[in-house]
Structure 1
Amino acid sequence: MSVLDLAPISSGSTAAQALRNTVDLAQRAEAAGYHRYWLAEHHLTTGVAGVSPALLIQLVAAATERIRVGAGAVQLGHRTPLSVVEEFGLLDALHPGRIDLGLGRSGFRKPGASAPAPGPATATPPAEPRYTPEGLLIPAPYDLSRLIGSPLLARYTELVQFPGAELPDYRDQVEQILALVRGDHLTSGGLEAHAVPGEGADLQVWILGSSAGASARAAGALGLPFAANYHVSPAAVLEAVDAYREAFKPSTVLDRPHVLVSADVVVAEDDDTARRLATPYALWVHSIRSGRGAIPFPTPEEAAAHVWTEEQRALVDDRVRTQFTGSPQTVVERLQVLQRATGADELLVTTITHDHQDRMRSFDLLADAWHTSRPTRGVTADGL
């Protein structure tokens, strides 16, 4: 069990306070026995302060002692392999053996860019919601077309990429990163390239993906661990992990597939309190999916005052229905269903509430309940 932190900004608060909250939560997560603490990367939003995973990793790693700290994930669509390896090489030099390098595609291609080569045929997510035999909800797929055509995406593309820049092949980028870390990277002209720091760094490299596409296939083909995104793209989680396992080839890193699955969670002493604390989640997700970008996380009272249309509710239905909210026992039972349905080796939990103390309490309650439900493992130096 690990933590994903977006460094959320609550309504009425500031980015500076969100960063202080991140350090506070990381120290609490380490004390509770969580295994990893991952920082996300988001841009052009007023409600998230996590714009630079490398800087946040340094902030968290310097304030903790044992917990693994990493990126969930670095967006490769506007980064070069060398810049990534050098940054994370610096982090490893400062905090050896504790750094995870999570790699993501950053999602969107520029208009007119060539599409990636099609992979092997995979099952299409169902058009209607269904439950797996284990009882996990697989909702209908979310239609990205509205978000893709939003002004926010146009601004994003304009500001994070140089004019005329071409989006490199994702697997090529990952292979270059691995080669730079190994120290056997050759340029297109056959010249050696050495990243110092970075070369020989003791990094755990992960691939993060939301579908059965290029990310899942690259993770499998390269024999790397794969993080599947149930908390953002729940409709495609089973196809993503299946595609990864089908493509998997043993490597010097792994001899068998290794899957982490994310979940959005709010835990409180009882189900009713948890549901109240989670009330703003729908409004927050709507701000993202309507193309505005994540707003500062509202209070339950602010969220309750919002008048919803049927169209708005439909836009967030899959995310709201797949959020894990409730008492510790309720949430642990549902997370165990997620683990069984996906065959996950690890779970990655993200929690956002308006009040920072409620958020920390949620992680504390979950850690205690998860530990109690798994007495053969418990809390060790390696985490929950």
Structure 2
Amino acid sequence: MHTEQPDHQPSTFHNGVRLSILDLAPIIAGGTPADSFRNSLDLAQHAEQWGYHRYWLAEHHNMPGIASSATSLVISHVAAGTKTIRVGSGGIMLPNHAPLVIAEQFGTLESLYPGRIDLGLGRAPGSDQPAARALRRGAASDGQDFPERLAELRAYFNPAMGSGTSLVRAVPGEGMNIPIWLLGSSGFSAQLAGQLGLPFAFASHFAPDYLLPALDLYRSNFQPSEHLSEPYVMVGLNAVAADTEREAHFLATSQQQQFLNLIRGRTGPLNPPVEDMEQLWDSREKSIIQDMLRYTVVGTKETVRTRLEKIIQETGANELIAAAQVYDHEARLRSYKLVAEAMDLKKG
């Protein structure tokens, strides 16, 4: 895949699978967005040393527990404080934006941090309906116009892909080779990514049901392109590691509480872990959350390694991208370090 800087050495597992980070920039109970941004940069700097391949941030709105709503700005913050790790969006929700604005923003990022920027795109709003209406100022979109928006965006980077009659140019942006990824949790983006010869990332860290069918759809529809000669799949998962099984499962309850609040229709900051989730959820809620979090790996380094190897075998993933909603920053750092050790990451 033509995405690497010449001097950037990819980090790979023993079988060539890369490992990356999806940072939801959590705002913890009692914390602030400023704390979140400091922690994100600190994590990215450590991840660079531990051998992680890329560091992505996600666009969410109207969520008091996630600080990365102005995603391009946070990407710049992280890229400015790192040297080699790729930094990008996982993803930008294209229906929320004029394609020209995204082309200019990522053209600016690529100009500032050449060869290190990824543009991952989704067609969901990344928010609730009131926030979506506020972002779009009343414009209705169910994502069906995503292919047209994507084509417009790509034409700003490469005018030869457009009609040749556009009077609008993306400056900066035009002529830049910024890797574009399609993100999804269903077959729509999987099929489109395959047809366009683009890399595909599946959001199995919260929507695992359609993972394997979507990967089959992507691979069966894949057409080689100037960007990619063969399919390239990234699989999202949650990973929480600690020195003991008990501690890892304790830390993972912060994420479980977050999903519990989500299905109850209330959002908030990331809460501290608890000793017993049985006191918080009922059997129906527990079943729903466990199903949503099927691609969650929790345990010691050895447990994590075994589970990751199974996921790689099951999916044929070229890359895994791990999210970790851990309340304590030092515990989060420790978790990602253990996951890197479990994957036996090496530079080059």
Q: Same fold (TM over 0.5)?
A: yes
RMSD: 1.9
> Partners of 1:198 and 1:302 in 2: how far apart?
50
| Maintained 8 Å contact 1:180/1:198 | yes
Question: Which residue identity lines up with residue 194 of structure 2 in the other structure?
Answer: G
| Maintained 8 Å contact 1:281/1:320 | no
The question of 1:270 aligning with 2:238 is answered no
Any idea what the Cα deviations from partners look like across 1:291-325, whole Å, max 9, x if unmatched?
323x2111123875843222322331213443210
Alignment of 1:337-356 (within 5 A): 337-356=310-329
Alignment of 1:68-83 (within 5 A): 68-83=86-101
Q: Among residues 237, 249, 256, which one is paired with 2:223 in the alignment?
A: 249
Alignment of 1:47-86 (within 5 A): 47-86=65-104
Q: Which residue of 1 aligns with 2:9?
A: none
> Partners of 2:279 and 2:35 in 1: how far apart?
26
> Partners of 1:191 and 1:202 in 2: how far apart?
20
Q: Which residue of 2 aligns with 1:218?
A: 192
Superposed displacement of residue 218, structure 1: 1.1
Q: Among residues 248, 254, 264, which one is paired with 1:290 in the alignment?
A: 264
> Partners of 2:277 and 2:205 in 1: how far apart?
23
Alignment of 1:1-384 (within 5 A): 1-107=19-125, 153-166=128-141, 169-184=145-160, 186=162, 190-212=165-187, 214-293=188-267, 295-301=268-274, 304=277, 306-371=279-344, 378-380=345-347
Distance 1:232 1:192, change over 3 A: same
Deviates more, 1:280-289 or 1:78-87: 280-289
Distance 1:253 1:321, change over 3 A: closer
| Maintained 8 Å contact 2:239/2:339 | no
Distance 1:252 1:313, change over 3 A: same
Superposed displacement of residue 236, structure 1: 1.0
| Maintained 8 Å contact 2:251/2:273 | yes
Question: Which residue identity lines up with residue 322 of structure 1 in the other structure?
Answer: Y
Give the TM-score taking structure 1 as reference length: 0.81
Distance 1:50 1:303, change over 3 A: farther
Superposed displacement of residue 340, structure 1: 1.1
Deviates more, 1:323-332 or 1:167-176: 167-176
Deviates more, 1:75-84 or 1:353-362: 75-84
| Maintained 8 Å contact 2:96/2:125 | no
Distance 1:164 1:59, change over 3 A: closer
Question: Which residue identity lines up with residue 177 of structure 1 in the other structure?
Answer: L
Superposed displacement of residue 366, structure 1: 1.2
Give the TM-score taking structure 2 as reference length: 0.89
Superposed displacement of residue 186, structure 1: 4.3
Superposed displacement of residue 334, structure 1: 0.5
| Maintained 8 Å contact 2:103/2:170 | yes
Structure 2 gaps, min length 5? 1-18
> Partners of 2:176 and 2:110 in 1: how far apart?
6
Distance 1:60 1:303, change over 3 A: farther
Question: Which residue identity lines up with residue 224 of structure 1 in the other structure?
Answer: L
Question: Which residue identity lines up with residue 216 of structure 1 in the other structure?
Answer: A
> Partners of 2:186 and 2:30 in 1: how far apart?
35
Superposed displacement of residue 166, structure 1: 4.5
Any idea what the Cα deviations from partners look like across 1:251-307, whole Å, max 9, x if unmatched?
0111111101011010001211101111222211122233323x2111123875843
Identity over the aligned pairs, expressed in percent?
40
Deviates more, 1:80-89 or 1:158-167: 158-167
